[in-house]
Chain A
Amino acid sequence: MISGLVQILLFQGLGELVSKFALPLVPGPVLGLMALLAYLWLKGSAGASLDLVAATFSQHLGLLFIPAAVGVVMFWPQLQAHALSVIVALVISVMLTIAVTALILKALTGEDSDAG
């Protein structure tokens, strides 16, 4: 568990450094993700410890959004005058985005397995 966490933190640090000094266009965590991916590719396996940490994080990814999302809820009343147009735009847009992405994939690969 600890060695996996250390590896992830090191790659996060690496990503932050590269983002700050070389590639300000791409955020640090994304660069860290890419670097870790390249490392796993070269190494050929993730190892039990890294596996465990990553599984824990992806299982509880939602928890990490709560502090920021609470701020969002507090902010919404300030949008009162525009709330309706924004909500309509957000709801329709997210539905269209999901539908278009999924339909392009289905059309291009023709795969239709698994149960819905």
Chain B
Amino acid sequence: MQANLPPIAEIWVYLSGSPLLALILTLSAYQVGVLVYERLGRNPLANPIAIAVFIVAVAITLIDMPYPKYFAGAQFVHFLLGTATVSLAVPIYKGFNALSGRVLPLLLALIGGGVTSVISAVGLARLLGADTAIIGGLYAKSVTAPIAMGVAERIGVSPTLTAVFAVSTGVLGAVLGRYVLDFVGVRAWWQRGFALGVASHGIGTSRAFSVHPEAGAYSSLAMGMHGILGAILIPVFFSWFK
């Protein structure tokens, strides 16, 4: 019997033990997400990351692959997140020439946006009766995920919950941003990009780059500034609020 085992099962066992399957899954799901996004005229509702995440989640559920096993392979993609963060210095540097005279408004807008993010999320969740553990996870949700998790550890709330809310916020901002910005009548690319970066960090920045390079540069600037300021100010804020 053993000898008659179809070779496909052997291949399957071999592949699922190596990072290859998780990498193929991640990259091809992303490819599909981008294709759909492009085909639909870069409509924000067809967010390529959300599509890819959905495909991967369904796929690993169907083939019964536990998440830790998937991540063990996909971590090579995940690792590059830090490298990509460093590389954002280049678009920020290029945007610097246009920055003169905008530094103070940008800083004030960031503070206004950051405070709004914390107060509205924490206030609403409290009003709707969420428990303390969940509310704690909302403080750093507009800060890019790796920084948000560091902040969570420092203020003693769940890093996992914080990451869940940060990633969800990123996708929501990327999807809803255009409608909100059109509604409030803000049209300049740099202002739109910066607002997206403050509210929805890396995933919003990804969306901003796909719409306009200037929006992307300002969005990455916002994400970096929010990361630095958030890492310092959110713990202070937290001690006032709780």
Task: Give the distance in Å from the alpha carbon of A8 to the alpha carbon of B79 in the complex.
Answer: 13
Is B6's beta carbon under 8 Å from chain A? no
Of all chain A residues, the one with the shortest Cβ separation from B147 is: A27
Is A68's beta carbon under 8 Å from chain B? yes
A111 CB to nearest B CB, Å: 5
Determine chain B's interface SS by DSSP, over half rule: helix
Interface residues of B in 80-120 (CB under 8 A from A): 80-94, 96, 102, 104-106, 108-110, 112-114, 116-117, 120
Task: Give the distance in Å from the alpha carbon of A50 to the alpha carbon of B91 in the complex.
Answer: 11
Determine chain A's interface SS by DSSP, over half rule: helix
Q: Is the CB of A86 within 8 A of B125?
A: yes
Is A104's beta carbon under 8 Å from chain B? yes
Of all chain B residues, the one with the shortest Cβ separation from A95 is: B180
Of all chain B residues, the one with the shortest Cβ separation from A23 is: B231
With a cutoff of 8 Å between Cβ atoms, the chain A residues found around residue B185 in the complex are 106
Q: Is the CB of B134 within 8 A of A93?
A: no
Is B11's beta carbon under 8 Å from chain A? no
Q: Interface size (B, Cβ < 8 Å)? A: 113
Is B238's beta carbon under 8 Å from chain A? no
Task: Give the distance in Å from the alpha carbon of A46 to the alpha carbon of B90 in the complex.
Answer: 7
A89 CB to nearest B CB, Å: 4
1/0 per residue A35-70: CB within 8 Å of B?
A: 011001100001000110111011111111111111
Given contacts A25-B232, A30-B224, A65-B81, whether A111 and B188 have CB atoms under 8 Å apart is yes
Q: Is the CB of A64 within 8 A of B169?
A: no
Across the interface, B128 reaches (CB within 8 A) one of A28, A66, A88, A111, namely: A88
With a cutoff of 8 Å between Cβ atoms, the chain A residues found around residue B26 in the complex are 63, 66-67
With a cutoff of 8 Å between Cβ atoms, the chain A residues found around residue B71 in the complex are 67, 70-71
Interface residues of A (CB under 8 A from B): 8-9, 11-12, 15, 25-30, 32-34, 36-37, 40-41, 46, 50-51, 53-55, 57-76, 79, 82, 84-86, 88-106, 108-109, 111-116
Complex A-B, nearest 10 residue pairs according to Cβ-Cβ distance, in ascending order: A101-B113, A85-B128, A54-B90, A67-B74, A29-B85, A102-B195, A36-B89, A97-B199, A93-B121, A108-B105
Apart from the given pairs A57-B80, A88-B128, A94-B142, 10 other A-B contacts in the complex at a CB distance below 8 Å: A54-B91, A58-B209, A58-B216, A67-B22, A85-B129, A89-B125, A94-B200, A98-B180, A101-B222, A102-B194
